[in-house]
Amino acid sequence: MKRPFVVANWKMNGTEEQARALLDALLPLLPGGSEGPEIALAPPFTSLRTVGERLRPTRIALAAQNLHPATHGAFTGEISGPMLVAVGARYVIVGHSERRRLFGEGDELVARKAAAAAAAGLVPILCVGEEESERIGGRTLEVIARQVSAGIGRLPAPGGGSLVVAYEPVWAIGTGRTATPAQVSEAHEWVREALSRSAGAATASEIRILYGGSVTAESAPSVLGAPGVDGALVGGASLVAESFARIVSSVPA
């Protein structure tokens, strides 16, 4: 039985001081024991250490939002997997559509980032998802299949505990337009089929597939209850303590 997983992606929001204030409000609202879903928080790089220290005595994991595929070197402005491990990160988001669209990251770079994360001992959270024009053009399945197989193509052994996939339709991110439960279930099925083709059915069945895209406290119960959904990757609503806590509490047991 897979443990559901809810990840907060704070994106480029908040100073360290604001991160502390958000944690002050959030931590008392989240389940502390082994009950409920697994939770991870992905603050901006500058707050990783502060957030990591506050999370250490809790069961909540630290996640990063990005990494460079190399371990070190002349890559001004970049951060490597081993650096993230050293501040206590367990997960790292790769292939987020904002990185693909705004920073020109293609499948090949995403694959190298996923492999670098795994090599450093991090669990990559591989994001995939179609643009609105691709959905309208009937290409959602093709896009998802390509992004999944490319994204895991360099992983030595994608397994249940070493990879998380997030299905995030680009048209639903930050737009207030959540995909319908039927759309989410269908896409998650396609993700799992693509994982099966690359990694085998048994391994694919162990990998958690999250939904992301305008998940709110209101939409969470129906989206998280949709068949094939193992949790959520939450952007905007994760910046409001009560909203994120309500999303966590709406994960079906």
168 part of the active site:
yes
Distance CA 82, CA 179 (A): 35
Backbone angles phi, psi at 110, to 5 degrees: -60, -40
Which of 98, 105, 134, 168 is an active site residue? Answer: 168
Looking at beta carbons, which residue is closest to ligand PGA? 235
Q: Which of 38, 96, 130, 134 is catalytic?
A: 96
Please say which residue, 90 or 196, places its beta carbon nearer to ligand PGA: 90
Annotation says 206 is catalytic: no
Residue number, 9 or 162, with CB nearest to ligand PGA: 9
Nearer to ligand PGA, 69 or 129 (CB): 129
CB of 129 to ligand PGA, least distance (A): 9
Binding site for ligand PGA (CB under 6 A): 9, 168, 173-174, 212-215, 233-237
Catalytic residues: 96, 168
